[in-house]
Amino acid sequence: MLITGLAVGAVLGFVMQRGRFCVTGFLRDIFTQRTWRGVTALLVVIAVHAVGLTALTSAGVIEPSVGDFAPLAVVVGGVIFGLGIVLAGGCASGTWYRSGEGLVGSWIALAMYALSAAAMNYGPLSGMNDWLGGYTVEATTVPETLGVTPWVFVVLIVVVTAMMVRHYVARDRATPTPATLAPKKTGLAHLLTEKPWHFYVTAAVVGVIGVVAWPLSAATGRNSGLGITTPSADVASWITTANPANWNWGVLLVLGILVGSFIAAKASGEFRVRVPDGRQAVRSVAGGVMMGVGAVWAGGCTVGNGMVQTSLFSYQGWVAIIAIALGVGAAAKIWLKPDQPYNPQDDAPSAQDGTDGTDGTGGTVPAQVMTGAAAASSGTAVLTAPVLNTAAVGLVGASRDKGGLTDLGDGRWRMDTLGAVCPFPLIEAKDAIRRIDVGDELVIEFDCTQATDALPRWAATDGHEVTRFEAVGDAGWVIDVRRGV
């Protein structure tokens, strides 16, 4: 029966890769995009889980067990985990499936996550669990505390989720349709490996997989459903000790995620080994360690806590996901910034743009290309309309600092984000578009899989026009965005 873990994991990895399913992004968007659209997808998973697991429990098929609530460990661990997943570029499940896409940075983060979780569970850091997790309160689930059937909360979460889905689907329909890549396949192959999977459909499928996972896992003696942290720790422990106790259904589940995402990435042309730069490699190491330590303290990651424990309406699950979100918010404030932040003062006339009567190098600008204000102050007669004609004198970057952009001519500017992980291509693009003039084009080269959805959606939402969007080899893309506002 252990083989069912591999099968469930493979399906989950395939679905997550094709649906760009990333809880880190969902939580991050609250702070960076001011939207709860992604969190709504997480609520879809929780709602489907809640219906399925409550039904299975009511029928006596499974017997979930929830321990007493350890508030300090859950809050501190959740915040640390939230900080770590932003540094690593993905949560626990996201790191597993992105490893299947060939991201070496995710491989690094995954190794550090598994090792640190193993050290916390079984190794020299295990005493830290007793130190912080020793304080508990006698509280397991909200329905148990209130003495009501969990179906009350199941109905509540389903209604709230349905209302939020309706709201964001309506908003999506009111927004111009984002550009998509030209199809190269037809039929089922196109639907499964090319056509972008809808946000909420993917979430519903992930929820169904989670419901199916629990009884299959329980049949092997493991009273749990989807989970990433302990299985990841077990992988590291089994590799280093060959202890048969560490070879279980959960281990095959996470290995299956890797297999499934690799299959999906190869089928869609999105697999390529991508080596991070030094800065991202360091972030992957630090993020992976923080993920392992934080998830063990919190009692689970964004899957174990954010999808499973929340659907059981445990205090641990809901407090943990809030703490993780706070950690993500803090990390977004600290680290998610463009390399060369746009300064509105760059738009102001200066001695470098020739509006003071010089060409920015000490030479004098001809009167016929001088602005009225500059001519008046210099005592020179204005011979033509008071507009600075930068083309006439060959000035480069006269009106605005194009920091980091390559001038391709004819109002086209190239931005290279190859090697940057999500959400940096979007962060840099939003900053760069403000550096160019309305009507100019920003040519963005990127190899971040998640950006294939984020960039065209941003362009459509913010009123910019996508003039080109195409794949360049395996796991490489280019998108041209004409500034609209």
| CA atoms of 95 and 78, how far apart (whole Å) | 17
Tell me if 435 sits within 8 A of 346, measured CB to CB: yes
In angstroms, what CA-CA distances link 245 with 65, 123, 344?
21, 15, 60
Per-residue 3-state assignment (H helix, E strand, C coil) for 158-188:
HHHHHHHHHHHHHHHHHCCCCCCCCCCCCHH
| CA atoms of 336 and 356, how far apart (whole Å) | 37
Residue-wise DSSP of 301-344: -TTIIIIIIHHTTBHHHHHHHHHHHHHHHHHHHHH---SS---G
Phi, psi of 119 (to 5 degrees): -65, -35
Tell me if 365 sits within 8 A of 359, measured CB to CB: yes
H-helix or E-strand spanning residue 218: helix 199-218
In angstroms, what CA-CA distances link 136 with 35, 140, 296, 315?
34, 10, 15, 12
| CA atoms of 367 and 350, how far apart (whole Å) | 17
The three-point CA angle 103-291-293 to 5° equals 145
Instruction: Mark whether 422 is an active-site residue.
Output: yes
What secondary structure letter does DSSP report for 137? B
Catalytic choice (91, 301, 422, 448): 422
């992976």: which residue's tokens?
288
Active site residues: 422
